[in-house]
Structure 1
């Protein structure tokens, strides 16, 4: 018994174009043809096609597949692919967990992981800065950052967010002192919450990146307040070490 290309495709659960592609890759040998030019596929073609389809179902790139007289083989075996599949499964689990948190807290889809419950309380600038922090630190550092952001009093955050560029001296001093006394000075190149120097970044590069971000994300009064807050913290540290 023989089959045409379309009949073979139906039997194997694939398409005519897929069969042609397997021919071009050398994974399926060309069949004999009838006197009228129509292809005549036989049982061994069907078996080989099912074998190729089975390997494709496992996610093996066809570039890593070879066919010979004994069957279809995967170059390098399946162990590396198995590790890749496991990593992808773990990535999907993380993505599912992240989406659940975003949906639960009605947070924007781009919210940094772990900050979903805080998203509605953070300004656009603060969210942007946290995004940058997530690229410069990880693990325990991010946990400490979340804790600092979480414990920053809403009143202090709102007062800082509401600063206009032309805020007067007294207002700037008051907000800077409130940030320091509430231990809310997380918007800083010094990264007081960090326990590492970053991933592949040097500490100098990280500080420069954060400094540039602060200049672009916040207005002049907010930048001045953050600078004063850092100076106050530095003076306190000097006094404690003296």
Structure 2
């Protein structure tokens, strides 16, 4: 099977390309470095030539008011080019709870991306993942200094990037879901607890202060970032991943 992986040189995309190739598929990475510009459409027709499946793993370069325009333009261009190329399955990676946090402009932008895909001409699959293990450091950096890390007690159920890759590959080579599949890690934390676990594992002496107003996830209500009962839970536990990462 020939698959075009848009964003195929990034954290998730490069691993998706590798796994698909190891399974015997023809996985073609498409990114600015390979001559593909989703904003202008340059190189897109060539990248999709002969592709049965498109996996869209691109991300907005910013989380601000520019992100809706990014997802509107790129999703529209990709759907149009895919229809012309005869693509039979479009897959995107999204976020668990994305349509339940209208306070965050980036989440509204990702919800728009999902809506465009559902309304498009091609059978589709949406994989919604929880927050990646690999992004915990970035989340902590938003509201930290030399002595403290301020985090809200937002419930989360993070997942390893490698498990996200496996889930995307599984969906990409299967029949279109024509709906949403949620994926998450096996363990639930509050975000402040996750910060304490992370600092302790790294022997970081900073203190985590629970602050309901700290960081982007302070705007998230209740437990909307944790998956529903039908989610597929990966095997990798965060504490085990931290030990291996160290």
TM-score range, shorter chain: under 0.3
Return the index of the structure with the highest Cα Rg.
Answer: 1
Higher strand share: 2
Higher helix share: 1
TM superposition score normalised by structure 2: 0.24
Higher relative contact order (CA 8 A, sep 6+): 2
